[in-house]
Structure 1
């Protein structure tokens, strides 16, 4: 990638922008784009399905893997200047979504994919219109905009009345305010009246006032306030407060729009399921010819070809070839596994070393990953119990207000019958639960926004509250407790031999080869006669020296015994859960090294903190039991199991929940998706797979476990703020109601207090110190 950046002249700018995000991983090296992905991007229908623009342009969305900082945004948005036919490119970093406008007569989407691949980014197509605002959201946005426009103009007119205007000017201002209030109430507040009427109908049918929705007293307060002001204008006497009503309606609509938008953004993640498994495959015909077809066109019994480096598109059985598969995304097993004729393979795994021909058993939703993801998709965005409580309180609130209204009417009919209408109006207006209706959705929406700024995306209201109730944490190993990629953790022998091995490994497609190259770099020597031996290693000639890199037993067969000391080291490394590798140069063993998935530096401290807080911590992994046991020992965990299938993980979560536990599941792969969905709260760590993102309630875009601690602490602070807001709202309504019954509040004062209380809630919600990042408040 560095060479590609330098060649394009972007190296200095890219490095400068990367300093804006120092906590993220280093940029990946340039990669060859997957042929199947390019075939899908280049297919004739790809741009035909895109959105049409002016001048014959087409707009479409691509998911881009590997974006992580401001430098990525800047680099990718250089597309229009570098690729002819690309008119515009906009990257949404948080969702890894690239929107491009292209001229289909000049460029294909495959050309865009190839350009991105030069810099280490992998582009995949998304569904048309995926993630776009729904019609309901657009209609609400228009309604909100109209409401704020009317509110602003109504307030300007109200200034004339408040400044002491009299005579014809005051009368004109009152009538003009009424004219603006009619659409504000009739159009802007229509949703509140519609829901109030629906809840009244439901309550009447059920003969149960508890069925009344919180919108019922809100609609009652707006209706009484607007009606009283309208009567004052028509009668030519009394105060008007249309400005308060208009501002209140606009503020309530804003809170509802924020809720709807946050849910849409959360639900959009499910579209990424389509990018997990290729949608096209290489089908082998009866005469041995190979053609690229849609996966949906495959049937059980068909034969497909899977070259090295590509993702397996189907579940099936290897009919020809031998290779190694990376199953980490599906099973959690960090070590590549050997497969040969007769072995089963699954969609979503990556073929690493040699071509395979696979007899199809299942495609699409019938595959193992398809069944897992179908189960994940059944989950819906859930609302927090505190939000449901605020909705349910509406019925009791209405009953209480009606009882107070009866008390007020009876009291003032006895004291001063002429004051009954004014005091009843003041009571109904001042007790409008607008602040109560705004407190929960707005506080949670603001908390989720601040969390997003800290790299913590929370999918639902419920997750914010559930995070504060967790008493059991279940952790995956690979990519969660560990860094999720192979690294050289130990070595012995000739360093020059390791450098030669790294140069040879530059031509291999394997996690071990990548680890050695990251540790040693790539030397200048010329490499020839390269041969990859499936399941064993790689051999070739580097700078004139015969070099072999691979399994220790294979190297011994190739170059003789490893001696006395090295086998002991290799055994110790294997016992610690690492993968041992040997190197031979010139026909003699020259070096040994071990690769492993390093434990995240913050993992041990976080586990100790949870244990001290009384939380039970479990480790469930699909990795080898010996590797899991080694990690558990380092962390001091007693509850740890290896070789746990995705289905077994979900069953383990269910068992914990059956015991009354509130479970937080933390994972990063397809193998964690079902468990993430089953848990009370599922958290996907940064760098996780698409399926983990879809299944999780919380997605951490920053790598490591520190954002998880921030999510738990931030949720606790957010819920404290929310409870204070609810207490403030209820206290306001209680004090206001008591003052109105006592005759201490006039209708004008009640109308002024109604939006003030709502704006106070807004201000406190916006000022909440909820989520922190790097020691600061957000």
Structure 2
């Protein structure tokens, strides 16, 4: 039996090392295995069943964090609400720090030419920045200290408080220079980075909320021979659900009565809605185009395929790692070393030269080591890349794209909406004993009032050819077969080959041969007949996007393996693959199968990018090393991806991967510089060769290097 699973929402985490500490705390409990996501603020816990949820909460709180048990699927609303509050508060703190602090810091670096007491006014203005604006760092540092731990927040807090305290001491005793600029710059830079992080975190739950929106809220059931409207959560297995045109299907089940058309694109990715009749399956999250249908509920609630889809996305999202985790791991060692080095510097200097040089050298060590550049390394590069990407029609959503883009060697391409337009059009036609214009005009007239999805392309062709269509007399629809009507005195039948066989229509060898070739290529067919004989047929298909073949060729020239993955039939998939130059094809693959393919490729050592646009692509997008969503796709796909191609042009995909690679390289250079700078500068500061003012300037210059290096991304693609 699988271990029971529950989720905790975790509060108070400020970096990836916090998530690691929560996970280690939970894993130390008997029979517990936990996965803690800093991105979502959620801990997924598997237990042996013998441990009460309250014990899990108590363990997390004992480590210095807040925790609450949540119902499955509700975590993301809780996290979104808390992140909204965090973003608002960080924004207010940052605005105050910029508006009040920066002008004051600039004045504090100039000789005091103002009236007596002017410096005290400056200090009074800096104090709100050092105490209130920097409060998140102070609180995190204090919480860590209570549990014998340190983080980047510890060093930030010490640098801000020490420089502010020393400035106040120097003003009281005239002991030396003021460093009021240091707490301001440190606070502004780090609050900006923290705000960017909070904004990205707030977006994390969007995919799961979008999937939840596909759940039907109410459902019509047959009880005691009468239709009743009930909440979907009250639906029971075995009950009969009535699904009318436009309704979301609320369960997985089998049609027991009725004929209709169902849009299954959310679950299968097929561009063409499918006709269903008694004995055929339908799934939760799909939409009835026509009906009504009576459906026996075989899967409800958490037992539906849609619920499984939500769990797949949730699992894949929680497994993603961020590049900033590297900086946090280093800081776990770096911060205690810096604090110890500062204390050792103070003790060494006070034994040799007295209090003032000791404080100066120790403060220089703290200030020059303050990891401003570390905090800026990732968000600054992301910010510049986001701006350049917007100009190129590419949006990088977060650090996951940077983490894996450099290593991507396999690109899995969805078919419908990615390589193709996603819209059915008339791809070809054949006539027998009539003119093409007559065939188009009469077929379009009969289908003009039809709601069948295959009717629209024929009607559109008729309108473009004729302008105004003739009116069909006594038009009637035949569910699952087609439509009929009288046009120009002829009884015209338009529909499937089965419709023709049912009405004893004489076939045409030329038409039959062409229809066979169309169906082998994956096209849908519409046959037309009048006066008792077939007079022609249409091939309907999804057109390949302009530039798709060139984009695939570009990916190959980048050394990337390409695979076409679709829920559509084999013939349609092979036809599109041949048109764009993809040699590997996986057809008729459901959402669970798509992520299974991604995981299989990853198990082979491949680093996989998935390009898609539909709800059914969301698990694969979330589980891939790199998810790329086309901007014309569904909200679910856009939320699940790491990269969004804003313009509906596949040529932007290799451009997006290239931009992600360049941004990742820039971020690594930023981090390497930040660490190297600290390693080189710390001994110089400890030996007394740097005053706190010079140390503060060096710290700012280090951050300036990071920003300048990131700005180089603005030239990408030129």
Residues of 2 paired with 1:220 and 1:175: CA distance? 22
Give the match's secondary structure for 2:205: helix
Instruction: Quote the residue 1:716 is aligned against.
Output: 661
Contact 2:317/2:623 (<8 A) preserved: no
Instruction: Quote the residue 2:607 is aligned against.
Output: 662
Instruction: Quote the residue 2:361 is aligned against.
Output: 423
1:43-54 matched pairs, under 5 angstroms: none
Contact 2:208/2:310 (<8 A) preserved: no
- Asked if residue 761 in structure 1 is aligned to residue 703 in structure 2, the reply is no
- 1:392 maps to which of 329, 336, 344: 329
Q: TM-score, normalised by structure 1?
A: 0.74
Residues of 2 paired with 1:377 and 1:560: CA distance? 53
Give the match's secondary structure for 1:312: coil
Instruction: Quote the residue 1:637 is aligned against.
Output: 582
Residues of 1 paired with 2:367 and 2:261: CA distance? 72
Instruction: Quote the residue 1:250 is aligned against.
Output: 188
- 2:113 maps to which of 137, 141, 165: 165
Residues 459 and 319 of structure 1: CA distance in aligned 2, closer, same or farther (over 3 Å): same
Residues of 1 paired with 2:98 and 2:272: CA distance? 58
Residues 746 and 489 of structure 1: CA distance in aligned 2, closer, same or farther (over 3 Å): same
**Superposition deviation, residue 380 in structure 1:** 4.0
Q: Which moved more, 1:605-614 or 1:373-382?
A: 373-382
Contact 1:498/1:591 (<8 A) preserved: no
Give the match's secondary structure for 1:469: coil
Instruction: Quote the residue 1:141 is aligned against.
Output: 91
**Superposition deviation, residue 421 in structure 1:** 3.6
Contact 1:150/1:246 (<8 A) preserved: no
Instruction: Quote the residue 2:156 is aligned against.
Output: 218
Contact 1:559/1:584 (<8 A) preserved: no
Ranges in structure 1 where 5+ consecutive residues have no aligned partner: 1-126, 205-210
Contact 1:384/1:464 (<8 A) preserved: no
Q: TM-score, normalised by structure 2?
A: 0.80
Contact 2:441/2:469 (<8 A) preserved: no
Residues of 2 paired with 1:383 and 1:344: CA distance? 34
- 1:474 maps to which of 400, 412, 418: 412
Contact 1:483/1:704 (<8 A) preserved: no
Residues of 2 paired with 1:681 and 1:692: CA distance? 13
Query: Cα deviations across residues 710-752 of structure 1 (Å, max 9, x unaligned)?
Result: 3211111212322332244334434543543454422222234
Give the match's secondary structure for 2:454: helix
Contact 1:263/1:381 (<8 A) preserved: no
Residues of 2 paired with 1:146 and 1:520: CA distance? 64
Give the match's secondary structure for 1:427: helix
Residues 201 and 543 of structure 1: CA distance in aligned 2, closer, same or farther (over 3 Å): farther
Instruction: Quote the residue 2:373 is aligned against.
Output: 435
1:644-659 matched pairs, under 5 angstroms: 644-659=589-604
- Asked if residue 376 in structure 1 is aligned to residue 324 in structure 2, the reply is no
Instruction: Quote the residue 1:270 is aligned against.
Output: 208
Contact 1:327/1:350 (<8 A) preserved: yes
Residues of 2 paired with 1:729 and 1:391: CA distance? 13
1:3-82 matched pairs, under 5 angstroms: none
Q: Which moved more, 1:175-184 or 1:723-732?
A: 723-732
Residues 307 and 747 of structure 1: CA distance in aligned 2, closer, same or farther (over 3 Å): closer
Residues of 1 paired with 2:201 and 2:218: CA distance? 31
Residues 572 and 524 of structure 1: CA distance in aligned 2, closer, same or farther (over 3 Å): closer
Give the match's secondary structure for 1:769: helix
**Superposition deviation, residue 189 in structure 1:** 1.7
Residues 226 and 300 of structure 1: CA distance in aligned 2, closer, same or farther (over 3 Å): same
Residues of 2 paired with 1:483 and 1:516: CA distance? 17
Instruction: Quote the residue 1:610 is aligned against.
Output: 555
1:427-466 matched pairs, under 5 angstroms: 427-448=365-386, 450-451=388-389, 455-466=393-404
**Superposition deviation, residue 413 in structure 1:** 7.3
- 1:527 maps to which of 469, 472, 495: 472
Residues of 2 paired with 1:515 and 1:244: CA distance? 67
Contact 1:384/1:463 (<8 A) preserved: no
Give the match's secondary structure for 1:617: strand
Contact 2:506/2:532 (<8 A) preserved: no
Residues 465 and 281 of structure 1: CA distance in aligned 2, closer, same or farther (over 3 Å): same
Residues of 1 paired with 2:144 and 2:715: CA distance? 34
Instruction: Quote the residue 1:298 is aligned against.
Output: 235
Query: Cα deviations across residues 666-689 of structure 1 (Å, max 9, x unaligned)?
Result: 233333333333322233323333
**Superposition deviation, residue 415 in structure 1:** 8.1
**Superposition deviation, residue 376 in structure 1:** 1.8
Instruction: Quote the residue 2:274 is aligned against.
Output: 337
Residues of 2 paired with 1:266 and 1:245: CA distance? 32
Contact 1:157/1:173 (<8 A) preserved: no
Residues of 2 paired with 1:376 and 1:331: CA distance? 16
- Asked if residue 513 in structure 1 is aligned to residue 455 in structure 2, the reply is yes
Query: Cα deviations across residues 744-777 of structure 1 (Å, max 9, x unaligned)?
Result: 42222223443454355345545632776xxx6x
Give the match's secondary structure for 1:508: coil
Number of residue pairs aligned between Structure 1 and Structure 2: 634
- 1:573 maps to which of 499, 518, 542: 518
Contact 2:156/2:186 (<8 A) preserved: no
**Superposition deviation, residue 249 in structure 1:** 0.9
Residues of 2 paired with 1:294 and 1:704: CA distance? 41
Contact 2:505/2:529 (<8 A) preserved: no
Residues of 2 paired with 1:518 and 1:749: CA distance? 73
**Superposition deviation, residue 574 in structure 1:** 1.7
Q: Which moved more, 1:587-596 or 1:394-403?
A: 394-403
Residues of 1 paired with 2:240 and 2:124: CA distance? 72
Residues 549 and 523 of structure 1: CA distance in aligned 2, closer, same or farther (over 3 Å): farther
1:604-753 matched pairs, under 5 angstroms: 604-741=549-686, 743-753=688-698
- Asked if residue 187 in structure 1 is aligned to residue 128 in structure 2, the reply is no
Contact 1:266/1:460 (<8 A) preserved: no
Residues 295 and 454 of structure 1: CA distance in aligned 2, closer, same or farther (over 3 Å): farther
**Superposition deviation, residue 450 in structure 1:** 4.7
Query: Cα deviations across residues 5-62 of structure 1 (Å, max 9, x unaligned)?
Result: xxxxxxxxxxxxxxxxxxxxxxxxxxxxxxxxxxxxxxxxxxxxxxxxxxxxxxxxxx
1:538-557 matched pairs, under 5 angstroms: 538-542=483-487, 544-555=489-500
**Superposition deviation, residue 614 in structure 1:** 2.9
Residues 414 and 285 of structure 1: CA distance in aligned 2, closer, same or farther (over 3 Å): closer
Contact 1:315/1:362 (<8 A) preserved: yes
Residues 256 and 366 of structure 1: CA distance in aligned 2, closer, same or farther (over 3 Å): same
Residues of 2 paired with 1:136 and 1:373: CA distance? 26
Residues of 2 paired with 1:545 and 1:611: CA distance? 54
Residues of 1 paired with 2:202 and 2:187: CA distance? 23
Residues of 1 paired with 2:709 and 2:262: CA distance? 53
Residues 495 and 575 of structure 1: CA distance in aligned 2, closer, same or farther (over 3 Å): same
Residues of 2 paired with 1:703 and 1:129: CA distance? 34
Give the match's secondary structure for 2:266: helix
Give the match's secondary structure for 1:341: coil
Instruction: Quote the residue 2:437 is aligned against.
Output: 495
